[in-house]
Amino acid sequence: MRGGLIIATVLVLTTGVFAEQRFAVPTEFDSGYTKPTTQHPDPRASMMQYVDLGVLIATLGLASFLTLKFRRRWAIFTLMIFCLVYFGFVRGGCVCPIGAIQNVAMAIFLGDYTLPLVVLAIFVIPLVFTLLLGRAFCGAVCPLGAVQDVFLLRPLRVPGWLDQALGLLAYIYLAAAVLLAATGSALIICRYDPFVSLFRLLPLGKWIEALTRGGTVPGGIASITISIHLLVLLGVLVVICMFVGRAYCRFLCPYGAILRICSRLSLKRVTITPEECIKCRLCEDACHFGAIRQPTQTHGGHDRTRGKGLLAGMVLLAGALTFAAGWGASLLTPYLARTNAQVRLAEQIWREQNALAARSDDINDPGEVFRRTDTPIARLYDDAEDIKRRFLIGSWIAGGFIGLVIGGRLVRLSVRRRREDYEADRGSCLACGRCFAKCPMEQARRKGRSVSLTTGEDE
């Protein structure tokens, strides 16, 4: 019940933001003016959501086939463009496993929230595909990734150490998004998704819908709403993505952070060449995402002893970091809790009651809205306290998770692996197919020829 109240409050307060942009009902006079009948466009047919789901499954299956079996970059690229058009411009970026993270978090932590099965499927299916067949979703299906690929003009190589550090941001974003969704505070992934602005610039879905009904776009062209702030954010991101391959996917995407973990456990994955690697480094040159790992060097006995000591130290540090980050995040609870509208409202009312802030009679002011509902203030305070308690627990978990990720990375960096050939990193590889498209062994395999392991020339 309480969870429902929180969601309702968030929705009511959020809709107020949009309500400001709408026109008031025209003042009526005794002039014979008759108000036009309100048009109610039909809701989108419920069947269409299963069509979306079908398209998602089909494209994921096709993408997996293209990366693992057919192994043609042009085919992957073509599929990527189709997904960009369909999931991006036609569906407005709304068939979105990234945003579905929040719905799942709400379903788990907010008792009254019912998760639609379609949304659950949209969240789970790419994860299952990744666990089985690698990150085909990122490589060819995700419209956000496709936008970045389209704008990638002059890729620069991000140093390995910086790549490791920036990759942490995605986990922090994931932890923050889950914490805020689980407390019913905000859906930040959707709110700050810059790519949606781009998709709204060309709302193909609306046009198709209007054409199939034989009419014009409802509300005319002026009904298209574009957030200027998100457009600016999009512009900045596009400029970054011109030089840094898939910057959002690698350093920010919260779903990518989950997929990275799943991909490490996947049964099958992209291989650069099924044949023997000739170490020509063309795959490393072709990959713009820093996902190709070089063959390792051999180490002496002394180094191995030192390495073990370092590893032990990092394991201990990881444990300490997990606790410290959880504790540190818990200290931020009072400030994080202010992201919740209910907590902000309680604080506002309390400040007004204690003459620390002036009251407003603006009907859009949350305090005034609350007063008009005649809800007991004690109930508001109780709800706010409850949310703050949830934030306290959530902050410990979110902080601990971030600490664990940092610690895990430190441990992983201290583990020495043996690699004989150039390989795509299981976690970082986005299954775009650039590496095998450039691999001479792969080219030769397709043509049924062999390549010299010493010169790289056809034999």
Partner 1 sequence: MNNTQITPKGSPRRDWRLACVAVACVTGAVSLTLIAAMAVNYLRLRDADPLASPKLAGMKEALYEHPADEQLKDDIRRLDLRLRKAHLRLRTRLATGGLLLGSILIVLVVSIRAAEILGRKPPHPNHPHNDPKRDDRIAGASRWSLIALTAAIGCGAAAWAMLSEPSGDTLLPAHVNGQKPEPDYPTPEEVRKNWPRFRGPGGAGVSAYANIPVSWNVETGENILWKTPVPLGGMNSPVAWGNRVFLAGAKKRRREVYCFDAETGRLLWTRRVQPAGSKDDPENVDRDTGLSAPTCSTDGKRLYAIFPNGDLASFDFSGKEIWSRNLGVPDNIYGYATSLLTWRGRLIVQSDQGTPDDALSVLLILDAATGKTLRTIRRAVAGSWTTPAVFSIGGAERLVTVGDPWVITYDPADGRETWRARLMGPDVAPSPIYSAGLVFTVTAEAKLSAIRPGGTGDVTDSHVAWSATEDLPGICSPVSDGTLLYTLTSEGGVLTCYEAATGKRIWSKEYENLGFHSSPSLAGGRLYLFSRDGTAIVLESARRYKELARMKMGEGIHTSPAFLDGRMFVRGVKNLFCISGGKK
Of the two residues 344 and 445, which places its CB atom closer to partner 1 in the complex?
A: 344
Q: How far is CA 29 from CA 34, 35, 275, in A?
A: 10, 11, 82
Which residues, numbered 190-219, are part of the site for partner 1 (CB under 8 A)?
Answer: 198, 200-202
Out of 358, 448, 454, 459, the residue judged to bind partner 1 by CB under 8 A: 358
Q: Burial-class residue 254 by CB neighbours within 10 Å (0-12, 13-18, 19+).
A: buried
The structure tokens listed for 201 are: 């610039």
Which residues, numbered 241-260, are part of the site for partner 1 (CB under 8 A)?
Answer: none
d(CA 336, CA 339): 6
Residue with tokens 């976690």: 427
Of the two residues 118 and 409, which places its CB atom closer to partner 1 in the complex?
A: 409
* Extended strands (E) in 269-387: 292-293
Of the two residues 27 and 46, which places its CB atom closer to partner 1 in the complex?
A: 27
DSSP letter at 252 equals T
Main-chain phi, psi angles of 449, to 5 degrees: -115, 165
Site string for partner 1, 393-412 (x = CB under 8 A): -------------x--xx--
How many residues touch partner 1 under the rule CB under 8 A: the total is 83
The structure tokens listed for 271 are: 């291989």
Query: Among 321, 320, 340, 328, which residue's Cα sits nearest to residue 389?
Result: 340
Of the two residues 15 and 58, which places its CB atom closer to partner 1 in the complex?
A: 15
Site string for partner 1, 328-347 (x = CB under 8 A): xx-xxxxx-xx-------xx
Which residues, numbered 7-46, are part of the site for partner 1 (CB under 8 A)?
Answer: 20, 23-24, 26-27, 29, 31
Of the two residues 135 and 200, which places its CB atom closer to partner 1 in the complex?
A: 200
Residue 119 C-beta: closest distance to partner 1, Å: 28
Contact 199, 83 (CB under 8 A): no
Out of 39, 46, 212, 297, the residue judged to bind partner 1 by CB under 8 A: 297
Which residues, numbered 59-118, are part of the site for partner 1 (CB under 8 A)?
Answer: none
Main-chain phi, psi angles of 62, to 5 degrees: -65, -45
Which residues, numbered 151-190, are part of the site for partner 1 (CB under 8 A)?
Answer: 151, 153-154, 159-162, 164-166, 168, 172
Main-chain phi, psi angles of 226, to 5 degrees: -130, 125
Q: Measured in whole angstroms, how far is the alpha carbon of residue 119 from the centre of its chain?
A: 15
Out of 68, 94, 131, 357, the residue judged to bind partner 1 by CB under 8 A: 357
Site string for partner 1, 271-290 (x = CB under 8 A): --------xxxx-xxx----
By CB under 8 A, residue 360 contacts partner 1? yes
* Extended strands (E) in 287-411: 292-293
Out of 25, 45, 221, 363, the residue judged to bind partner 1 by CB under 8 A: 221
Query: Among 16, 187, 9, which residue's Cα sits nearest to residue 96?
Result: 187
